[in-house]
Amino acid sequence: MYEVVVERPEVEIVEKIKKARSKDEDVVRVVEEMKKAEVKELRGNEWKIEGDIVLKKGKVYVPKDEELRMEVIQLHHDVPAAGHGGR
């Protein structure tokens, strides 16, 4: 087993993702289906709930909010390990 370290900007993004999911019709529909069926997985494991986070195909689903999606991209693209040094 391994430990995941989550830094402050990532914690803030996770909170924003949780809040934004109520505005995304696809997520609302999937979460309601899961609640009705009383399951944590749906459609052959395509959708899954872990804690308060919705996963799609094993990855955190970022709701359809362009500003939030750009923030996620910038958070992970603009770090020195992922960037390209401005070249």
Over residues 41-47, mean pLDDT: 82
DSSP designation for 86: T
DSSP conformation letters of 18-83: HHHGGG-HHHHHHHHHHHHHT-SEETTTTEEEETTEEEETTEEPPPS-HHHHHHHHHHHHSSTTTS
pLDDT value, residue 66:
92
pLDDT digits (tens, 9 = 90+) for 54-85: 888 888 889 989 999 998 888 877 655 545 55
User: Which phi and psi angles does 2 have, rounded to 5°?
Assistant: -125, 160
Please count the other Cβ atoms lying within 10 Å of the Cβ belonging to residue 30: 21
pLDDT value, residue 85:
53
Compute the distance between CA of residue 34 and CA of residue 24 in angstroms, rounded to an integer.
16
